[in-house]
Every structure is written in C-alpha cells, then in structure tokens.
Amino acid sequence: MPPKSTRTRRRGVRVDVEADGDLIVTNLDQVEMSDRPIRPKLQQTADFWEKTQSNHQNLLEHVGVVVGFDEEAEKALTLTNHDQAEMSDRSIKPKLQPFADHPDCDAKEPTLILDKCPTDSDSPNVYITPRNSSMYVHRHGNMTLECAFLSLTSITSSKWIKHGKNGQTVLNKTTHPDKFSVSLSEASRNLLVFKSDFILDDAGTYQCIVSNENGENDDNVTVLIYEEIPNPQVTSELYPLNLGEDVHMECMIDVYPEVTDVWWTKDDGIIDITDSQYRGSTPQEPSVHISTTTTDDIGYYRCCANNSISFNCSNYIILGFLFHNQSDKNITFGERITIDCAVESYPPITNSTEITWSLNGSCVNTKNIIKYTQPTLTSLTIKNATFGDQGEYTCDVEKDLINGTSGGFWLNVNGDVKRCPQRGD
C-alpha cells in the first residue's frame, strides 16, 4: 500500500470495515488518520451497507454517525457527526441509481436490462426472455415465448407477429391460427405466445410489439427447428406371411432436415429395390410392398434412411408366419389321425405361441383330453374319429399380438357306422 500522510482533526469520526465485515467507529478528536478520503466503489458501498446496517445500527446511533452519499462529491462516502446535524431518518439507504424510486428499476431485478428507467412520457420497454437472438424447438414439440414489458402508463395494444417463409401472421388474444395461443398479463407485465406441435412452417422470426399512449416498442427472436438424424418408425414388428400372397410393411419418417434416401435391409443385407417384386422404399413412400411372397422372404427386415446430418434404421421387423398348403386327408371311422398346422415362424414357435384349431369355422375344444391330444406345439391328434370330425380344418397362430391363419384342408371320414349286435342276431 502507498505510504500515508497523517494530520490531526479537531472534529469528526473514522469508520473502518474489517475483512470479516465488522464496523469500527473511532472518535478522531484524539486520533491521527490518513488525509486520503474514503471513496469506495458503488457496488462495494452497497455490499458494505447490507452487511453493516442491521448489525451495527445501535453502534451508529450511539456515536451519532450517519453514513450516506454525497452526490456533489462524486458519490464518495461522507461522514457526518450527528451531534451537529438534525435528520429525519437515521437509517438512510444509499441510492444505487438516480431512478431507483420505481421497483422495476431496482438494481436487484435479475432480468431487467434498461439504459434508464422509463417515465410516464415514455413508450414501453420491451424485451423477450430469454435474452437470445435465436432459439431452437424440437419438431412436434411445444414452443413458449415470453415478452416482458415495462410501462408507467397503461398498455393500449399488444401483439406478436410471426415472420415466416409464407409471409407475416398476426398473433394476439383474439386472432391466431390453430394451435397458437396468446395471453396478456398487465399485472405481471408479460405477453405470452404458446404453440403446440411445432413444425417446419412455424419456424421464423417472432416479433413482440407493445404500445401505450406515448408510442410502441418491440423485440424479436428467431425460432428454428433442431436438426436431427432420421428415426424411422415401424407400425408393427411382426407380420404373418402367407405363401404366394403380398405383404405390405409400414415405415414412417418425420425429421428435419428432410430425408434424402430410404432403403430396406433383409437379414442385414440391402434389398435390391429395382427387383419387380418390391415397391416403395423412397423418401416419398418409405414403406415397402413385397408381392407374391415365397419362403425366401422369411427373415428380419429394417427400414433405413439418411439426411444431411446422418442415417439411422428402424427396429427389426419379423416376417413372419409361413403356412404351407396341405392336401385333403382321409380317415376310417373309429380310427385316430394326427394333423399339423404346417406353419413356419421366424423366430420359431414356442410355448408362448397360441395356436387355435377350427372345424368348419367353429373353435375346436382341444382341452377335451378324451377326444384330443397335442403331441407337439403345432399338431393335433383326433381319437376315435366320427362323422362329426369331418370337415375343413384351419389353424390360427398368435405371437406377440400378430395373428396368422392357415389355409384350410378337408378331412374325410370313411366307413359305415358299426351297429351294436342285437339279440337274436
């Protein structure tokens, strides 16, 4: 520290602030002190006041000292001996700004950014929070913008204007498109705009305009959509496959930037979409259609896509249930026969797979163990066949909520009904 020059003063006090915030007041009639004036910075003075006002009020009153700002002395700290001055309020809090009378201009307000506090002849101060020139919203997410304003006179009008690629759109409490909502609160001094299901057409610059009797002011923010990699979605992860029939596997892609390429894989190999068996697999139609299916079409499928950011693929699709055609069968009355569902599943049938048998469209009660047994997961044995067992049989397979039904085959029961011997025969 620089050397201090000292002199003796006849009248006055000295205030010292210790490192721990304690205040020491000394009568200077008997003490030498530096002739360097005490000129703390404004923020230091504010901290000083907050730390000492409550703890040392009694001490200040005891020695008769008032601490305050002397504006003529460039806001330096001045010390006045209360023995020689009368005052109306001993707890004078220093003003940190010349316009601190209005609560919105209090330096403690964390969000207010003003060059000066407005007067009743000024137009509103307007600012959008958060204070960024741009912000991002997820596609199909929700957007909320808050426009705060400060006006010492009543607000006469307020609105939002969206500047987008399709021109300007006015948004206020009574005029707004679907899924937009606007609310004004003069009590909390803000104008909110909310938009659900944000899409590309909603991107643009949003301008908040607030007016009072003295004029208007505005602020604006640019709202953009997050750029993301594609996320192909499939509506089902398991499809039944009926030999010789067509199958259509759905894929949906909604992303920004838009998709530039779509392809499908089977067992992790890329499908040749130029093959006439396939249709679709484009950015405009990402789903795929397979015509005239064969056993070669059983497998794991995925829908994949890319854009200017990167590429991604859907969950696996299993295709699926393959029911083999069966010829009609014959049995002699009173004999037993075992029939099979003749289904291939990828992955294989398990105990959790539900298989239901039908005869002429009516469910067969396979739990009747006197009449039926099930030697395997896909087979059914009919004991002691009767003419009531004759007809068309089908089987229905349900796995992971996906159903598949086989084609039917006919069971003929041949022979005469055996007559019980009668007395006299």
Clarify whether residues 276 and 315 are in a common domain. yes
Q: What is the average per-residue pLDDT within 6-13?
A: 44
Structural domain contains residue 105? no
Distance between CA 138 and CA 143 in Å, rounded? Answer: 9
pLDDT value of residue 177: 77
Clarify whether residues 145 and 183 are in a common domain. yes
End residue of a domain, out of 321, 356, 376: 321
Instruction: Let me know the angle formed at the C-alpha of 196 by 190 and 200, rounded to the nearest 5 degrees.
Output: 110
End residue of a domain, out of 168, 198, 225: 225
- Report which of residues 242 and 170 the model is more confident about: 170
Clarify whether residues 271 and 362 are in a common domain. no
**How many separate helices (H) and strands (E) can be counted in the chain?**
2, 34
pLDDT value of residue 115: 60
Both tokens of 280, joined, read 């679709």
Structural domain contains residue 92? no
Clarify whether residues 311 and 401 are in a common domain. no
pLDDT at 103 over 70: no
Residue 190: in which H helix or E strand, if any? strand 190-195
List the 278-280 sheet strands across, edge first: 247-249, 288-290, 278-280
Range scoring the smallest mean pLDDT among 6-10, 51-55, 140-144, 400-404? 6-10
End residue of a domain, out of 225, 247, 270: 225
pLDDT at 284 over 90: yes
CA atoms within 13 A on the CB side of 271: 27
Indicate the average pLDDT of the chain: 76
- Report which of residues 123 and 177 the model is more confident about: 123
pLDDT at 165 over 80: yes
Task: Name, in order, each residue with C-beta under 8 angstroms of 296's C-beta and a sequence gap of 6 or more.
Answer: none
Structural domain contains residue 120? no
Q: Is the peptide bond before 320 cis (omega within 30 degrees of 0)?
A: yes
How many domains are contained in the chain?
Answer: 4
pLDDT value of residue 318: 81
Structural domain contains residue 176? yes
pTM of the full structure: 0.49
pLDDT value of residue 114: 58
pLDDT value of residue 190: 86
Model confidence at 385, in pLDDT bands (50, 70, 90)?
very high
pLDDT digits 0-9 by tens, 48-102: 445 444 444 443 343 333 334 333 333 333 334 444 434 333 333 333 333 334 4
pLDDT value of residue 185: 81
Clarify whether residues 141 and 215 are in a common domain. yes
Clarify whether residues 313 and 334 are in a common domain. no
Structural domain contains residue 280? yes
Distance between CA 269 and CA 291 in Å, rounded? Answer: 19
DSSP string, 201-245: GG-EEEEEEEEETTEEEEEEEEEEEPP-----B-S-SEEEEETTS
Q: What is the average per-residue pLDDT within 170-183?
A: 82
pLDDT digits 0-9 by tens, 322-359: 777 899 999 999 999 999 998 877 667 888 888 999 99
pLDDT value of residue 81: 41
Structural domain contains residue 94? no
Range scoring the smallest mean pLDDT among 131-140, 210-219, 304-313, 345-354? 345-354
What SS3 state is found at 361? coil
Clarify whether residues 263 and 308 are in a common domain. yes
pLDDT value of residue 295: 79
> Do the strands 329-332 and 409-414 form a parallel or antiparallel pair, or are they unpaired?
parallel
Clarify whether residues 147 and 220 are in a common domain. yes
Distance between CA 42 and CA 75 in Å, rounded? Answer: 8
Clarify whether residues 12 and 76 are in a common domain. yes
**What number of other Cβ atoms are within 10 A of residue 15's Cβ?**
18
Clarify whether residues 23 and 76 are in a common domain. yes
The distance in angstroms from the start CA to the end CA of the chain is 141
How many residues are listed for the chain in this entry? 425
Clarify whether residues 352 and 297 are in a common domain. no
pLDDT at 273 over 50: yes
Range scoring the smallest mean pLDDT among 23-27, 207-211, 294-298? 23-27
Q: What is the average per-residue pLDDT within 304-332?
A: 90
Residue 329: in which H helix or E strand, if any? strand 329-332
pLDDT at 155 over 70: yes
Structural domain contains residue 256? yes
Which among 380, 384, 406, 368 is positioned nearest to 331, based on CA atoms?
A: 384
Model confidence at 178, in pLDDT bands (50, 70, 90)?
confident
Its domain, for residue 68, covers 6-84
Model confidence at 151, in pLDDT bands (50, 70, 90)?
confident
Structural domain contains residue 367? yes
Clarify whether residues 214 and 129 are in a common domain. yes
Distance between CA 330 and CA 412 in Å, rounded? Answer: 5
Q: What is the average per-residue pLDDT within 102-111?
A: 45
- CATH number at 357 reads 2.60.40.10
- Report which of residues 420 and 156 the model is more confident about: 156
